[in-house]
Amino acid sequence: MTATSQTVQLDPLAIEIGGTPIAIRTESLAFRELLASRYAGFVRACPNPELELAIELFEPVEPAQADEDLQVRLQGEEWCIERGDFRARWNPAAARGRVRQSANPYAIDSVLRIIHTLILARQGGFLIHAASAIRGGRAFLFAGVSGAGKSTISRFAPPDVQLLTDEISYVVRSNDGYKACGTPFAGELARVGENRSAPLSTLFLLEKGPENRIGPVGESEALRSLMRNILFFAEDAGLVSQVFESACKFVNQVPVRKLIFVPDERVWDIIGQQARE
């Protein structure tokens, strides 16, 4: 689906992820409608947005250009974020940015992820390659390499589970611990998560096996696994150090367990037991 060239003066469209709304300004009605559909459930009214992105559209680039490597670097007071299909600038102090991109949702999707990682890095939170869900009022993360079972866990979730994402989880640090928030960043299921949040109970490291069981994870292994799965793109030593410090604090406060499971719905029996403990 692509946007047309029709332009009018439009109100910004606020996309709220993790309790942080970012207002998107575009002169293209079709592109605005595309975003409203793509981020359904995460769009809300925001008459005075604190964070704002202005979008300028250009014609689609050649496939080879779209595959250019991503670069995220600080230039003066602005973050310069570039890939073949978009060029973006983000000024944290002004809380304003601009994006020049092709008219498809994947470019703005990438820009939003990157900006959220920059925001979270200074708050002690992060985005992580993990499925997440709420059961019994508590949230659970399910992390692992591609093929480990994030989509499988999500696919077999019973009706009393609220799926936050099957691909990229949003972790926020607060005064009393951590919470997981739903995201629209879908994976294999192509299903937008629920725009909800809950206190984070456990991070499970996924491993398919012949039985369902939960095993211990040492602190050093927990930290290594967490760092492998955290999304962070910026070429900045200071922020990388902050992300590492945040990961250390996380594994000191949130239980990390290995979840060995048979890839079917029975895995949720053992997760349910964990939720009741």
CATH code, domain carrying 140: 3.90.228.20
CA-nearest of 128, 170, 180, 140 to 273 is 140
Look at residue 3 and tell me if it is in a domain: no
Of the three residues 121, 138, 168, the one that is the final residue of a domain is: 121
The answer to whether the beta carbons of residues 26 and 6 sit under 8 Å apart is no
Q: Is residue 2 part of a domain?
A: no
> Has residue 1 been placed in a domain?
no
Q: Which domain-ending residue is among 105, 121, 137?
A: 121
Beta bridge mates, 258: 205, 215
The pTM (predicted TM-score) of the whole model is: 0.91
- 66 and 28 within one domain: yes
Instruction: Domain count for the chain, please give it.
Output: 2
CB 140, CB 178: distance < 8 Å: no
Q: Are 86 and 47 in a shared domain?
A: yes
Q: Does 130 share its domain with 255?
A: yes
Is the domain of 140 the same as that of 272?
yes
Residues in the chain: 277
DSSP lists the bridge partners of residue 127 as 170, 231
Please indicate, yes or no, whether residues 96 and 165 belong to a single structural domain of this protein: no
End-to-end CA distance of the chain: 46
CA distance linking residue 43 with residue 28, whole number of Å: 17
Of 163, 161, 245, 259, the closest CA to residue 203 belongs to 259
> In terms of domains, do 85 and 158 share one?
no
Would you say residue 132 lies in a domain?
yes
Query: Phi and psi (nearest 5°) for 104?
Result: -140, 155
Q: Are residues 144 and 114 in the same domain?
A: no
**Three-state DSSP state, 14:** strand
CB 257 within 8 A of CB 248: no
Domain range for 183: 126-276
Token pair recorded at residue 61: 């680039």
Indicate the residue among 71, 89, 121 that finishes a domain: 121
Show pLDDT as tens, one digit a residue, over the chain (277 residues): 444 444 456 788 999 999 999 999 999 999 999 999 999 999 987 777 889 999 999 876 555 455 578 999 999 999 999 998 899 999 999 999 999 998 888 899 999 999 999 999 999 999 999 999 999 999 999 998 888 889 999 999 999 999 999 999 999 998 889 999 999 998 766 778 999 999 999 999 999 889 999 999 999 999 999 999 999 999 899 999 999 999 999 999 999 999 999 988 899 998 877 766 6
State how far the Cα of 68 lies from the Cα of 70, in Å rounded to an integer. 7
For tokens 């299903």, name the residue. 191
Q: What tokens were used for 209?
A: 């096996």
DSSP string, 139-168: EEEEE-STTSSHHHHHHT--TT-EEEESSE
